[in-house]
Amino acid sequence: MTESTWNGFRRIDFEFEGREVIVVFADSANRTDKWMLKTEYFDAFPETEIALLKKGYNLVYLKNLHRIGKEDDYDKKYALSKYLTETYGFSEKCVCVGMSCGGLHAVHLAARYPEMIACLYLDAPVMNLLSWPLHLGKPGVAAESAIHGYIEFHEATGMTLSEAICYRDHPMDRMGALLEHSIPIILVSGDSDRIVPFEENGALLEKYYKENGGTIEVHIKPGGDHHPHGLPDITPVMEFIEKYY
């Protein structure tokens, strides 16, 4: 285990069941047992995580085997949650912060282990693997990016393109499980996202949840591309997370 600081907060790095783990603790003066699980891109666009750390939430990250996601990624996160509860007194539930393909991980984790999820904060989430990384939908992605996306997908799953078209375990296929367990969701996206188009991804989740009585709050950034993630004013995200966790 190594100790350092992250944006002014105490950070520890250690290995858990063969995976790299980061835990950032809120200051002891106002630390709670609540925690955030950043499912990918630990250092990316951390404004909300820093603001929640200041409010006493802790921050956790476990390195994934792959951006596409594997069952072992979700199983390890669940096992880690048990360890954190036993070792540091963390709550049995967390808020999942899923940006881009981190949203893919967050949705699958919540569907597989709903008992550890208080709510989801999804930002330009991947819901449809045919959209990302395969780029088979909305035109405009460079051919080189599409090729790299297919290579990444094939290396992670072993599937051919024909098999991918018939695949039925996208994050969008797990929406029913999220709804069944009444998991609240706040969704942020740009309406001009060229990497993970909203209409092929987050819009599917918004439509499903709203049509079936789920709790979802959606914030669309006019003209917003895939980056930067987050809202210019993070207040709505903070208020949603604090309401449901």
Here the tokens at position 174 are: 């797990």
pTM listed for this prediction: 0.94
Contact 20, 65 (CB under 8 A): no
Beta bridge partner(s), residue 219: 188
Per-residue pLDDT, 147: 82
- The pLDDT tens digits for 189-230 are 999 999 999 999 999 999 999 999 999 999 999 999 999 999
Decide which of 141 and 179 is more confident.
Answer: 179
| Spatial separation of the C-alpha atoms in residues 57 and 30, rounded to whole Å | 9
| Spatial separation of the C-alpha atoms in residues 87 and 140, rounded to whole Å | 48
Per-residue pLDDT, 166: 87
Task: Please state, as a whole number, how many other Cβ atoms lie within 10 Å of the Cβ of residue 6.
Answer: 20
User: pLDDT class for 93, splitting at 50, 70, 90?
Assistant: very high
Q: Over pLDDT 70: what percentage of the chain?
A: 98
Q: Taking 90 as the threshold, does the pLDDT of residue 145 lie above it?
A: no
CATH, range 2-129+171-244: 3.40.50.1820
Average per-residue pLDDT for the chain: 95
* Residues making up the chain, counted from first to last: 245
